[in-house]
Amino acid sequence: MKIIGEIVAIEIIAEGHGIRELASLRERYGYGNWRKKKGVALVELPDGSVAEAEVHWYEAHGIGKVKLKIKRWI
């Protein structure tokens, strides 16, 4: 999966202790102000086709986006 262009319509879903995976994020990537976010982006699939999808990821200042995944096709 490859994101083409920018992610738009970004919203915060959860932050801090509201994140279920907070302990594993801190263990793997370090301490930070973790937020779970969602947005809409064009995604290029392994077969070369392009589709619009809702994507979710975790993000912390100084660490960046991690664990990006497609939640649904639009």
1-50 confidence digits (pLDDT tens)? 789 989 999 999 999 999 999 999 999 999 999 999 999 999 998 898 99
For 54, counting Cβ atoms within 10 Å of its Cβ (0-12 exposed, 13-18 middle, 19+ buried), the class is middle
Per this entry, what is the length of the chain?
A: 74
- Residue 6 token pair: 């920018």
Cα separation, 1 vs 47, whole angstroms:
10
Cα separation, 63 vs 29, whole angstroms:
7
pLDDT at 51 over 90: yes
Cα separation, 63 vs 4, whole angstroms:
21
What pLDDT is stored for residue 1 in this prediction? 78
Can you give the residue ranges of every domain in the chain? Answer: 2-73
